[in-house]
Amino acid sequence: QSALTQPASVSASPGQSITISCAGTSTDIGYNHVSWYQQHPGKAPKLMIYDVSNRPSGVSNRFSGSKSGNTASLTISGLQAEDEADYYCSSYTTPSTLFGGGTKLTVL
Amino acid sequence: QVQLQESGPGLVKPSDTLSLTCDVFGNSITSSNWWVWIRQPPGKGLEWIGYIYYSGSTYYNPSLKSRVTMSVDTSKSQFSLNLSSVTAVDTAVYYCAQKGTGDTYYATWGQGTLVTVSS
């Protein structure tokens, strides 16, 4: 299986919104088992979105997820400096998991 | 809430076996969870290695399956990863994580441990 396809980097200014895409196929993204992880340098990934659009308890509602066809998206609104991190999408296809290559978000 | 802590050698020689352990705190290792290993080469993305249930049932990444063995020690509340015949490409930060039965995501992660393969 090939990794899911994400843009290498995105950037925006504080207060703006960004969207990170995650492209796959009907056999991975095509199922509604997409999750998103945030990773700050030297830290473990943190779950931000699961099952396409669900937020775990404690995650800001500035983070939202969606999917269209075989492409999932993570949107972050009202960008803050602390959002600067790497973001990874993931697709769970029983029993395995596929990750995207990661997107570096820079808050200008 | 479950907490996870990886441990093991930080340096492994080529062709040797990489062995790591993950201690589980705050939740029974025999609860309805799958115990997961994921790795991340320096500066690169995440790679799912596989997971194990306390009963011993396992699922491995097909690309690593021939070299991976996972096990659970319920008496010590820990699970382990063995990766044989390692080369430099196996150099990575190795994370243990937890997946609830029926979940499609990894809610809890350990802090990760860097393993370097070098002579």
Judged by CB atoms closer than 8 Å, whether chains meet at A90 and B107 is answered as: no
Kindly report, residue by residue over B64-80, the tens digit of the pLDDT. Answer: 999 999 999 999 999 99
The H or E element spanning position A69 is none
Q: Does A3 touch chain B (CB under 8 A)?
A: yes
- What pLDDT, on the 0 to 100 scale, is given for residue A72? 96
Q: Is A24 on the interface with B (CB under 8 A)?
A: no
Q: Supply the pLDDT for residue B15.
A: 97
What pLDDT does A93 receive? 87
Predicted local distance difference test score (pLDDT) of residue B18:
98
| A95, pLDDT greater than 90 | no
User: Which of B63, B106, B113 to substitute to test the interface with A, most A CBs within 10 Å?
Assistant: B106
Q: Quickly state the pLDDT bin for A1 (edges 50, 70, 90).
A: low
Owner of token pair 């999917």: A67
Within 8 A of A47 by CB-CB distance, chain B residues are 105-107
User: Closest Cα of chain B to A1: distance in Å?
Assistant: 9
Substitution target in B37, B104, B108 with the highest count of A β-carbons within 10 Å is B104
Convert the pLDDT of each residue in A51-77 to its tens digit.
Answer: 999 999 999 999 999 999 999 999 999
Peptide linkage before A95 cis (omega within 30 of 0): yes
Q: Is residue A99 left, alpha or beta, with left meaning phi > 0 and alpha meaning psi from -120 to 50? A: beta
Would you give the DSSP letter of residue A2?
Answer: P
For the segment A30-46, the average pLDDT, to the nearest whole number, is 95
- Residue listed under structure tokens 């990444």: B61
Nearest Cα neighbor of B95 from B16, B12, B21, B39 is B39
Q: Residue B48 and residue A47: Cβ atoms within 8 Å?
A: no
Could you please report the per-residue DSSP string of B44-94?
Answer: S--EEEEEEETTS-EEE-TTTTTTEEEEEETTTTEEEEEE-S--GGG-EEE
Q: Do A45 and B95 touch (CB under 8 A)?
A: yes
Q: How confident is the model at residue A78 (pLDDT cuts 50, 70, 90)?
A: very high
